[in-house]
Amino acid sequence: MRWHASALIALLVLAVPASAQDAAGTSAPSSSTVTWRFAAGKGSLWIRDVASSRFGRRVDASPVSWEGHGLVFTAERDRGTARRGHHLEVSFEQSGSAVFRTPLAEFPRPADDRAIRVGGRYEYRRYLFVDLGVRGFDVGFGLQGGAEFASVTQHFDPSLEVRVREANLTTGVVVAARLRPLRRIQVEVAWANGGALVRTTQRHSAAAEETVHDWGVGWLTDLTARADVRVSNRMTLFVSYFDTGRGRFVLLDASASGRRRWMVGVSHGR
């Protein structure tokens, strides 16, 4: 069902641009450019298990969340014109200093509770509506696909270790807007929704079958915001914010999670 909407938006992205560009004015340069961005920052991760939820029976998540904090690094490459572009991104984040957060308090988890995540994402985006209402305000749409690998290690008393590895193939539809209030400043916001194919591997230190595998599906909602300040002809400094809510339906192992990160970085390119 999700694909019907995705296909509709994809058709819109491919079919509308000619007329939209004619109506939108001619301020955007037509030559293709390449921009590299590198950023580092702080991130947080929360996980709430949904336990044995079955397909078609929605069960709310745990009232307690596992939360960790850590560092995030990203590298991005944009190629294209002001109206359309290819975006590639790789990111790495690790979380530690974990706690169980209940509605009333938080309790520290063992020091070696941790999570890591490595992800890659590609997006094709077109700004169909340029100078929409206000000069410098553009609205566009995109399609994205990605792959992620994540590993979460938890410990339970007295000495039990549970490690869940998760590989995701994701796809999504992106709605984006950007504003250039001044020549040197640009603010961009993107909102993505989509689905995922999930493969999990759980390893339990005391289980008879030490490792069990399973397949499942998931969803994602990503919000990205970035403010660019151009400091020279080729160099831009930026601050970015990213927030995602995700979930996976795996037999007897469903969960919901979210990540948030604040980053600063530098970009190079025209």
Minimum CB–partner distance for residue 62 and another protein (Å): 4
Residue number, 103 or 133, with CB nearest to another protein: 103
Cβ(263)–Cβ(44) under 8 Å?
Answer: no
- Give me the least distance between CB of 88 and another protein, in Å please: 23
- Integer Cα distance of 156 and 49 in angstroms: 15
Instruction: Output 111 or 266, the one with its CB closest to another protein.
Output: 111
Query: Given the complex with another protein, which of 132 and 250 has the nearer CB atom?
Result: 250
- Tell the smallest beta-carbon distance from residue 155 to another protein (Å): 10
Give the whole-angstrom CA distance, residue 215 versus residue 200.
6
> Judged by CB, which is closer to another protein: 77, or 260?
260
Please give the structure tokens belonging to residue 177. Answer: 């807007």
Q: By the criterion CB under 8 A, which residues form the site for another protein?
A: 1-6, 9, 47-52, 54, 58-66, 100-105, 154, 156-160, 162, 173, 191, 193-195, 202, 204, 206-209, 212, 219-221, 245-247, 251-253, 255-256, 258
Q: In whole angstroms, give the CA distance from residue 154 to residue 20.
A: 51
Judged by beta carbon, residue 54 or residue 234, the one nearer another protein is: 54
Query: Of 91, 101, 48, which is closest to residue 71 (Cα–Cα)?
Result: 91
Q: Which of 219, 16, 229, 3 is nearest to 127 (CA)?
A: 16
The residue (of 66 and 238) whose beta carbon lies closer to another protein is 66
Relative to beta strand 84-101, strand 114-129 is antiparallel
Minimum distance between the CB of residue 42 and another protein, rounded to whole angstroms? 22
Q: Report the alpha-carbon distance of residue 224 to residue 212 in Å, rounded.
A: 34
* Amino acid letter, 117: R
User: Do the bridges between strand 235-250 and strand 185-204 make them parallel or antiparallel, or are there none, so unpaired?
Assistant: unpaired
- As given in the structure block, the two tokens for residue 65 are 């969340």
Rounded to the nearest whole angstrom, what is the least distance from the CB of residue 250 to another protein in the complex? 9
User: What's the closest the beta carbon of residue 161 comes to another protein, in angstroms?
Assistant: 11
